[in-house]
Structure 1
Amino acid sequence: MKGTIDLLSTEEITEIHHASLEILETVGMEIQDDEIRQLLHFHGARLEDSRVYFPRELVEWAIDHSQKEHIMYARNPDKTVYPARSDVTLLTNSIFCTHIYDWKLHRKRPSTIADSIEFTRISNFYDEIAFYAATLLPMDCPANLSELYALYNALYYSDKHCHCYFSSPESARYAVSLAEAVAGGEEALRRRPLFTANLPALTGLSLSRKECATIGIFAKHGIPILTFCSLMTCITAPQSIAGTLALSNAAILGVLTMIKAINPEAILLYATDTCTPNPYNNSVDYDASEYVLFSSANRQLADHYGLVSATAHDCSEVEPSSFPVVQGYRLRQLRNLMVRSNTCFCAGGYDFSLFASQLDLILAYEIYSDLKPLQADTPLFSQGAGADMVAAYLDDGLSDVTRRACFSVKKNYYTFMQQDYRTFINDKINWILSQPPDIPAPEIQARMDAVMDEAREALAKGGSLG
């Protein structure tokens, strides 16, 4: 395939795989859930207090029993997507933002349920977004209900497969009930899971009791699971790329083995967000040239295991763009798409403070629309021009790439940014929201509302869900 970055050789993939198996066998994982520890012990793992040591045979059994094709089922069957079959990276939104940059008021503020609906409808409109990741967690509702409102809006206002963030077993139980209400029951949801559960990031070889319980609920019900492994070199991982890859791979394989012990039909996406740290805020440095190398290597490892890969590229973490920045934005996306992960979360995020922006959302979607043909065999994205552009990025940084390549692309792309982009976005949003949404049938709506009523009542009575 043209325009692909491959960091690892076949021999290096094998070496990292065996290093990860050794880590799981000799270092193990801390799993703070007695029921899951005993289940893993039944399958051959060795226990020592809260630590579980995985024999190589058990991990390889989990890999061998992984589904080689993950289907993202949608409420509208025509929008079901097949990541492993796609020739291009399937794109979606950033996820779990709690605030927005209000493009009408020109200021930041907490997000609302109404904002969540608006983001969902805008995202559902664009075909470039293959599946919808709920960008916002509404802040104008009880905190324990925020994740459920995000899923409710995703299932109600989007007819695509959706990804939503969940951080507790209580939210997980009602999330499954909501999806069952749409799918038509427990067995119908098992056959066609309508959403993927995005869980808190892995930051090492440890899972809390709360994390284990949340993973367990989704695994038992056959809901696909995605938990980004977010390690940072020299802080939560070794200094070397190879050592960090071995550790992050071990963490993912440990979770894979755990969910396969719970339910052999359970599905895990191979998701990574690993890189060098940003020296200013000790978070993942999306601007680092190493980020694309880590993403590429992890995609190769996912391919090696036959798992669907997911990355979270740096374009989800930039400020709303002015015209000169757009060219750099495009070049970053071209570089990111050359990683060739199956899926990519990279639209609508605003900054590291978890602000989202309709402005950035529309900007990203319009760029995706422009870039989609370039993922194939066009000259700009071939091993010639595309590879040279990425090489320049890795050698000299984004500003130098912009100087070298901006002139050749801005002549043909993004001419609308020369006008007032707020006017463009205002018109675009108003037109999208004027279209009638494709919502579920009344009987499905009634079942969904009944689940939400039950969740609200549980919160009022006991202070927590479930």
Structure 2
Amino acid sequence: MKRGGRKARHAQRASKPQVSPAPPGQIGGRFRPLDEVDLLEIKATSFRLLAELGMGEVPNKLADLLIQGGASKQGSRICFPPHLVEDAIAAAPKSFTLHGRDPSRSIDIGGASVHFGTGGAAVQTLDLDTGLYRASTLADLKDFTRLQDTLENVSWFTRCCIATDVPDIFDLDLNTAFALLKNTTKPVATAFTVAENVAPIVEMFDIAAGGPGAFAKRPFVKAHISPVISPMRYGEDAVDVTFACLEHNIPVSCITAAQAGATAPATLAGFLAQSLAETLASLVMVHVIKPGHPMVFSNWPFVVDLRTGAFAGGGGETALLNAASAQLSNWLGLPSGVSASMSDAKAIDAQYGSEKAMTSLAAALAGGNLIYESSGMTASLLGASFEAFVLDDEMHSNTYRILRGCEVTEENLGFDAICEAVLGDGHFLGSGHTLAAMERDYVYPSLSDRDTPKGWEDAGAKDAWARANARAREILEEHHPTYLTAGQEAEIRAKFNIL
């Protein structure tokens, strides 16, 4: 009986717990790279930039609303008084729900809860067969969507690649959105190239949601928009898209994507001041168009290699700036979006792993509500990888575990368990105290190798890339969801050019 019990305990220890000990939504905010004086000085400088320098190239329709709201025209620029910016911050939702088509997959954002997701517009895909990059296609987007649909630590999905085989901009926007509708029920995000594309695509969303007007009542898609072009000016097309999205009640992620040393100061403090001012300019824009509309305050610090001018997705500066950005946004009480895990590595190698772990952990510890670009991206955002998706999902599980922290309770301190082990078997293996902690407190990797060198050799001496390649192939072979009914898909195909 003892031997049978021991075998059962060993089997229990070897199996992965059915419930994650640290699911998405863990609380960040312990890492604070800025002190209170830093935060106040950065805010003051950003407010001064908006009040004295203001924004350039403001489209007339937006300029009229800004001036009605209290802004002033100084030459060709529009300047924002501090009270207008403060009003926009006060009116902005401090938290809101990103709906999934499946309500159980919806996520609440705000406060200090942390969720990893996707982003990017990769024009190249790391091919599963050749291990080399090629142009991304619509088929790749569909495959990425259904792959991530199975990954529990990826909370939402933004299209991660551009279908370069779809040249028409309306067909591209439409078929990108359709790929999301058909292949996942998580919260999703997409982009609209021009404002005219919004209304017909919302019509497609209505079909999936149950009828005319249904989508606006519970929007399960948010829009990625970059209405501000660094340094300190608006982009007319993106502003027009913002107007259209707000008209259709689409939540927006207004993204500032300044690059330190190129379109913003190379000094980290100067960068943070300008980037904050620009993201606040997006918030004021949303406020004067539709006060209180849900907006993710997506202040994404980017870095260039000052030796060459090339974009740098990894590195300590990227990690620090995104953590500071998350801290600033949360300090203002706004739902924060930052970017991390944008490795410059082309291969799934040591550079890839170190850059992704460093940057994503820093952003999570700082409390970034939505950490974009954190799954699947490689090659300084030029590439997307199936293997990277499954490896990053496992990395996120460990990050969430770090965020969960160490619960100090009388039971966890284990005084009685320590006494029993010392006076009894001399170890803790198989004890009730250990088995309870095993199920409750530990994350067990399925891709990372913890075998002995001999066991690893006997299993084929595979590296992480090879193991992830096999896992991605397995998922793509087995997981073929269709989250549209036959009737919904037929109606969409009858009305639109689905490729």
Aligned residue-pair number: 425
Give the partner amino acid of 1:428: R
5+ residue gaps, structure 1, are 380-408, 457-466
Aligned-pair distance for 1:80? 0.3
Q: Please tell me the root mean square deviation across aligned C-alpha atoms, in Å.
A: 3.0
Counterpart position of 2:429? none
Aligned partner (choices 440, 445, 463) of residue 489 of structure 2: 445
1:28-427 correspondence to structure 2 within 5 Å: 28-48=54-74, 50-84=76-110, 87=113, 89-144=114-169, 145-185=171-211, 187-200=213-226, 202-322=229-349, 326=353, 329-345=356-372, 346-352=374-380, 354-378=382-406, 414-415=448-449, 418-421=461-464, 423-427=466-470
**Distance in 2, Cα, partners of 1:112 & 1:412:** 29
* Contact residue 292 and residue 339 of structure 1 kept, 8 A: no
Counterpart position of 1:429? 472
Taking structure 2 as the reference length, the TM-score comes to 0.77
Q: Does 1:26 find its partner at 2:70?
A: no
Q: Does 1:4 find its partner at 2:47?
A: no
* Contact residue 31 and residue 212 of structure 1 kept, 8 A: no
3-state SS of paired residue (2:304): coil
**Distance in 1, Cα, partners of 2:174 & 2:39:** 39
Worse-superposed segment, 250-259 or 231-240? 231-240
Counterpart position of 1:16? 42
3-state SS of paired residue (2:391): helix
Counterpart position of 2:440? none
**Distance in 2, Cα, partners of 1:32 & 1:312:** 26
Percent of pairs identical after alignment?
21
* Cα deviation digits, residues 244-291 of structure 1 (max 9, x gap): 222111111111111111111422212122254213552443333222
* Contact residue 222 and residue 265 of structure 1 kept, 8 A: no
* Contact residue 20 and residue 249 of structure 1 kept, 8 A: yes
* Contact residue 320 and residue 359 of structure 1 kept, 8 A: no
**Distance in 1, Cα, partners of 2:351 & 2:60:** 55
Cα 1:326/1:168, change in 2 over 3 Å? same
* Contact residue 95 and residue 164 of structure 1 kept, 8 A: no
Give the partner amino acid of 2:235: S
Counterpart position of 1:464? none
5+ residue gaps, structure 2, are 1-26, 408-442, 451-455
Worse-superposed segment, 167-176 or 240-249? 167-176
**Distance in 2, Cα, partners of 1:162 & 1:196:** 7
Give the partner amino acid of 1:215: T
Cα 1:324/1:199, change in 2 over 3 Å? closer
* Cα deviation digits, residues 143-193 of structure 1 (max 9, x gap): 412233222111221100012233322333433333233233564323322
* Contact residue 317 and residue 349 of structure 1 kept, 8 A: no
**Distance in 2, Cα, partners of 1:277 & 1:318:** 15
Worse-superposed segment, 201-210 or 354-363? 201-210
* Contact residue 93 and residue 135 of structure 1 kept, 8 A: yes
Cα 1:55/1:198, change in 2 over 3 Å? same
* Contact residue 74 and residue 161 of structure 1 kept, 8 A: yes
Taking structure 1 as the reference length, the TM-score comes to 0.82
* Cα deviation digits, residues 45-71 of structure 1 (max 9, x gap): 212465212122222111111011121
Cα 1:143/1:203, change in 2 over 3 Å? farther
Cα 1:246/1:168, change in 2 over 3 Å? same
Give the partner amino acid of 2:53: V
* Contact residue 245 and residue 251 of structure 2 kept, 8 A: yes
Counterpart position of 2:18? none
* Contact residue 316 and residue 347 of structure 1 kept, 8 A: no
3-state SS of paired residue (1:369): helix
3-state SS of paired residue (1:4): coil
**Distance in 2, Cα, partners of 1:238 & 1:140:** 37
* Contact residue 101 and residue 185 of structure 2 kept, 8 A: yes
Cα 1:54/1:414, change in 2 over 3 Å? same
3-state SS of paired residue (1:125): coil
